[in-house]
Amino acid sequence: MLHIVDDEEAVRDSLIWLAKSRMIEATAHGSGTEFLASVESMPRIDPDGECVLLDIRMPDISGLTLFDTLCARGLTKRLPVIFLTGHGDVPMAVDTLKRGAFDFFEKPFNDNKLMDRVQEALAASQQAGASAAVQSRLTALSLREREVLDLILDGKMNKVIADKLGISMRTVEVHRAHIFDKMNVKTAVELARLLK
């Protein structure tokens, strides 16, 4: 999902049209306040990735202030920000990029180059979301399940795991089933592929 945050309706409309020409789902927000309200109601992770096209100069909350808010909330990996401005300068661009912005475009911009970067930002967001989902699943494992997981990833059989941890084979089987369930995999190969 591409989130367009710009106070000019004509700019929002043209960017939505441009996104649709690349088969990118887009939504538009006329202010930073409106966008922040929508962030609160978003699902935690969009599996298709997300990106924000953000105008620098807006009346209620400037793009820079909105970017600072997203940074403070730790959302810029999930929501990579591409700045758009007609009033930018080199020091401003360098500063935003150093602070984690995905890119910075001055208006007028090359449509194809902008959409190429949007697609790259969506891919980066998708990858960050997948990593976050895996990390979330890992944190759901108990300490003993983590020990069993490590031994499964080392290629150890249930009997070896049981001997090493001083537990019964049946207990290992139960832990293995819980691990597979929590990690949403069916085999040790899938588990290894997920965690590589």
Q: pLDDT tens across 73-101, in order?
A: 888 888 999 999 887 677 888 888 888 99
CATH ID of 2-137, from 3.40.50.2300, 3.40.35.10, 3.50.50.60, 2.30.30.40: 3.40.50.2300
- Give the DSSP letter of residue 45: -
Taking only the tens place, the pLDDT of each residue in 95-113 is 888 889 999 998 888 999 9
User: Rounded to an integer, what distance in angstroms lies between the CA atom of residue 166 and that of residue 28?
Assistant: 58
Taking only the tens place, the pLDDT of each residue in 119-160 is 999 999 888 877 878 888 898 999 999 999 999 999 999 999
Is the pLDDT at 9 greater than 90, yes or no? yes
User: Rounded to an integer, what distance in angstroms lies between the CA atom of residue 173 and that of residue 188?
Assistant: 12
Burial (CB count <10 Å: 0-12, 13-18, 19+), residue 80: buried
Q: How many CA atoms lie within 13 A of 182 on its CB side?
A: 17
**Domains in the chain: boundaries:** 2-137, 140-195
54: which residues sit within 8 A by CB, 6+ positions away? 5, 6, 63, 66, 67, 81, 82, 83, 84
140-195 belongs to which CATH class?
mainly alpha
The continuous run of DSSP H or E covering 26 comes out as: strand 26-29
Is the pLDDT at 186 greater than 70, yes or no? yes
Taking only the tens place, the pLDDT of each residue in 24-70 is 999 999 999 999 888 877 655 666 789 999 999 898 899 999 999 99
Q: Give percent of the chain above pLDDT 90.
A: 61
What's the pLDDT score for residue 39? Answer: 83
121 Rama class: left (phi>0) / alpha (psi -120 to 50) / beta: alpha
